Amino acid sequence: MIGRLGRRLFAGRERALPEPGAAGDVLAEAEGLRVRLGGREVLAGVSVAARAGEVLALVGPNGAGKSTLLAALAADLPADAGIVRVCGRPAADWSAPELALRRAVLPQSAALSFPFAVEDVVRMGRAPWAGTRAADDDDRAVREAMAATEVGEFARRPFSALSGGERARVALARVLAQRAPLLLLDEPTAALDLRHQELVLGICRERAAAGDAVVVVLHDLGLAAAYADRVAVLRGGVLAAEGAPGDVFEEELLSRVYRQPVEVFPHPRTGAPVVTPRRSPATPA
């Protein structure tokens, strides 16, 4: 009871709820962003924008700065130079409760200190809305997020008893339940099987179609080509290329960026670019 009173007293006040935007609005952007971590310059002047209604994929080799860029867009990391804006305002000017209404973040690995049930974990995503009118939608948001990620069947199980892939989907369900207009997903497909990879990127597309801005770090270039509106290719902390997958994914660029010869060819049915490493044909024994 005291807790409820306290929440009513301290939460929800002076918080401006986000206003619905139009397609194409820039919800997060970095301008000339430089970030140093542990003495190393991880981002060396990157400019990128996440627009409402678009899926932006961040790709590049390991250590290229993808996750750092995502964390900077999430207002987790301070910029050493340049600026990050979320919904038009410098990231550092937002308070944590205000930001939570505007952007949801899926971390690379999902951890949990105590064995909460899956449904409780998903419900944590609704915490930012406590005390606002949107809190009335809590149950529906949780239910829909769990249905979309197909985690309903183990809703009552403790999170700690799930497999890696199941945990990843529960974490995504939590992020979806938050219903923020900006979604930042760090390798959401890394632990998932084929079906669920498609499912997750399908969700990204749906959210973009519904007017959200989605930024997603991906390793699978085929997935990026099939689902992203725009792709930003990072290498060594700078942007090597940015644009529609069909324009950006070319053999010469990708081979250089990944230091691995690749082949790019249009898919025979859909025409989307397919990227595979260049391998010598298997010799029969």
CA–CA separation, 180 vs 87, rounded Å?
12
Least distance in angstroms from the C-beta of 51 to other proteins: 21
- Are 238 and 44 within 8 A, CB to CB? yes
CA–CA separation, 55 vs 200, rounded Å?
12
CA atoms within 13 A on the CB side of 281: 2
> Considering beta carbons, is residue 220 or 229 the nearer one to other proteins?
220
> Considering beta carbons, is residue 212 or 242 the nearer one to other proteins?
212
> Considering beta carbons, is residue 116 or 272 the nearer one to other proteins?
116
CA distances from 51 to 88, 183, 202, 214 (A): 12, 11, 18, 8
Q: One-letter amino acid identity for 38?
A: G
> Considering beta carbons, is residue 74 or 148 the nearer one to other proteins?
74
> Considering beta carbons, is residue 73 or 257 the nearer one to other proteins?
73
> Considering beta carbons, is residue 159 or 249 the nearer one to other proteins?
159
> Considering beta carbons, is residue 105 or 201 the nearer one to other proteins?
105
Rg of the chain over Cα atoms, rounded to whole angstroms, equals: 20
CA atoms within 13 A on the CB side of 21: 23
CA atoms within 13 A on the CB side of 135: 11
Q: One-letter amino acid identity for 235?
A: R
Least distance in angstroms from the C-beta of 211 to other proteins: 21
Sign of the CA dihedral running 80, 81, 83, 84: negative
Residue for token pair 């859909």: 270
Least distance in angstroms from the C-beta of 131 to other proteins: 11
Residues that bind other proteins (CB under 8 A): 2-3, 6-7, 10, 74, 76, 95-101, 103-105, 107, 109-117, 120-121, 124-125, 127-128, 130, 156-164, 167, 178, 191
Least distance in angstroms from the C-beta of 214 to other proteins: 16
Least distance in angstroms from the C-beta of 242 to other proteins: 26
Least distance in angstroms from the C-beta of 168 to other proteins: 9
Neighbouring C-beta atoms of residue 92, cutoff 10 Å: 11
> Considering beta carbons, is residue 22 or 96 the nearer one to other proteins?
96
Nearest to 72 by CA among 234, 240, 221, 259: 234
- Are 33 and 43 within 8 A, CB to CB? yes
Least distance in angstroms from the C-beta of 250 to other proteins: 34
CA–CA separation, 196 vs 31, rounded Å?
34
Least distance in angstroms from the C-beta of 128 to other proteins: 4
Helix (H) or strand (E) holding 43: strand 40-51
